[in-house]
C-alpha cells in the first residue's frame, strides 16, 4: 500500500474512500457543543497527547482531525480506543451529574409542597381579615338614638341601662324601661359587628358571617325550632333599611299574662342590629294594658333606623 493516502483510507480501481478494515473503536455520541469535558485517564494510563505526536487532545472530541501516524496502524488503533474510552467516561460523569441535579430538584419540590402530592388549595380563597367598609367596632348603643325619638315612643322618664358586652368593642347594647301602670315597656337595642370566620359560608368574610346570622334569625323567627318558648311570628320584610331587614310581631302568653313583642332586625355590612320592644297587654297582677301592636312596631322601627344611621 502506498504512503500517499492517509491511514484509514481505501483505494480500489482508482477510487479512494474510508477503509472498512480500519479500527474505528466503539461509537459514542458527541458531547454538547461549546462545552469541553475533561476526564481523568484510567488508573496507570497517562495522557498520551504529549508523548505521541499527532494525537488529538482529549478535549478535542471525536470529530477532531487526526494526522498521519508514521508508527503504523497498531498504535493508531490503540489511541482511537483510548480516546473512545475517555469519551465514554466523560458521558458517564455527565449522566451522573444530571442524576444528582435531578434528585436535588425533586427533594426541593417535596420540601416546598409538603409531600409528593400537590399542595392543598382552598377554593376561592378564605378571607381572614376585615375587608374595606366592614366595621370592627360599633358605637355606644345608648347614645345612637336621639332623645327626641326616645321621648316620642317612651314617654316619661325611662330607666336606661347598658348591659356589659361579651364581645368587647364589637358589641354594644342598651335597655330602656318604663314600669308605671298602666304602661310597661322594655326596649332592648343590640349592635354586634361580626368578624371573619372559617365557619361562615362563602369566603368566610365578616360580612358572610353576618349574613349567616341574619338568615338563621329570620328562619327561626318565622318557624321557631321544636320546644322553643317563642311562638311563630308574623314577619314583614323591610326593603331599604340597611342591606337586609325584617320586622316581626309575636304574642307571648305566660301565667295569665299577655305580652306583645315587636322586633326589627337589620344587617348593615357585617353588623347586625336587633331592636326588641315588649309591651304588657294584660297582666295577672296589677293594672297594665292594653297595648297597640302597631305602636310597638313603629317604635322598634324608629330605634332601628337611628342605630343603622350611626353606622355610616
Residue 77 has pLDDT above 80, yes or no: no
Q: What percent of the chain has pLDDT over 90?
A: 54
Three-state DSSP state, 75: helix
Centroid of chain to Cα 292:
52
pLDDT at 66: 47
CA 232 – CA 296 distance, rounded (Å): 18
Which strand (E) or helix (H) includes residue 276? strand 271-282
Of the chain, the end-to-end C-alpha distance in Å amounts to: 108
Of the two residues 120 and 69, the one the predictor is more confident about is 69
Domain locations in the chain as residue ranges: 9-113, 141-309
Instruction: Round the average pLDDT of the chain to a whole number and report it.
Output: 76
Report strand pairing: 244-254 vs 234-237. antiparallel
121, 58 Cβ separation under 8 angstroms: no
pLDDT at 80: 66
Q: What is the CATH number of domain 141-309?
A: 3.40.1000
Q: Enter the DSSP assignment of 181.
A: T
Q: List the 171-180 sheet strands across, edge first.
A: 159-161, 171-180, 183-193, 271-282, 257-268, 244-254, 234-237
Instruction: Give the pLDDT mean for 154-161.
Output: 94
* Inter-residue long-range contacts of 46-52, CB under 8 Å, 24+ positions, other chains counted: 48/79, 48/82, 52/79
pTM higher than 0.75 for the full model?
A: no
Residue 140 has pLDDT above 70, yes or no: yes
Query: What are 4-46's pLDDT values in tens digits?
Result: 434 333 333 344 444 433 334 344 334 443 333 333 444 444 4
Query: What are 90-133's pLDDT values in tens digits?
Result: 666 665 655 544 554 444 433 333 333 333 335 567 999 999 99
Amino acid at each position: 500500500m502506498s504512503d500517499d493516502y492517509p491511514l484509514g483510507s481505501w483505494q480500489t480501481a482508482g477510487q479512494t474512500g474510508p477503509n472498512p478494515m480500519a479500527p474505528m473503536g466503539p461509537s459514542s455520541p458527541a458531547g454538547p457543543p461549546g462545552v469541553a469535558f475533561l476526564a481523568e485517564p484510567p488508573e496507570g494510563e497517562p495522557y498520551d497527547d504529549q508523548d505521541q505526536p499527532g494525537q488529538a487532545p482529549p478535549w478535542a472530541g471525536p470529530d477532531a482531525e487526526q494526522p498521519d501516524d508514521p508508527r503504523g496502524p497498531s498504535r493508531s488503533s490503540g489511541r482511537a480506543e483510548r480516546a473512545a474510552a475517555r469519551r465514554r467516561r466523560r458521558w458517564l460523569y455527565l449522566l451522573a451529574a444530571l442524576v444528582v441535579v435531578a434528585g436535588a430538584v425533586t427533594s426541593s419540590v417535596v420540601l416546598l409542597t409538603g409531600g409528593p402530592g400537590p399542595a392543598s388549595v382552598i377554593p376561592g380563597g378564605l378571607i381572614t381579615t376585615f375587608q374595606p367598609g366592614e366595621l370592627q367596632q360599633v358605637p355606644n348603643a345608648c347614645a345612637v338614638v336621639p332623645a327626641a325619638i326616645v321621648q316620642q315612643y317612651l314617654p316619661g322618664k325611662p330607666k336606661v341601662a347598658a348591659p356589659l358586652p361579651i364581645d368587647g368593642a364589637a358589641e354594644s347594647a342598651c335597655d330602656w324601661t318604663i314600669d308605671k301602670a298602666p304602661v310597661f315597656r322594655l326596649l332592648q337595642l343590640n349592635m354586634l359587628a361580626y368578624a371573619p370566620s372559617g365557619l361562615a359560608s362563602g369566603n368566610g368574610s365578616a360580612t358572610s358571617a353576618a349574613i349567616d346570622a341574619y338568615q338563621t334569625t329570620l328562619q327561626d323567627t318565622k318557624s321557631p325550632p321544636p320546644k322553643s318558648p317563642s311562638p311563630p311570628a308574623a314577619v314583614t320584610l323591610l326593603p331599604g333599611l340597611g342591606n337586609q331587614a325584617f320586622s316581626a310581631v309575636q304574642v307571648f302568653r305566660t301565667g295569665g299574662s299577655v305580652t306583645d313583642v315587636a322586633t326589627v332586625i337589620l344587617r348593615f355590612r357585617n353588623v347586625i342590629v336587633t331592636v326588641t320592644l315588649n309591651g304588657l297587654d294584660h297582666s295577672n297582677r296589677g293594672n297594665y294594658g292594653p297595648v297597640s301592636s302597631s305602636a310597638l312596631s313603629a317604635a322598634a322601627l324608629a330605634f332601628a333606623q337611628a342605630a343603622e344611621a350611626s353606622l355610616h
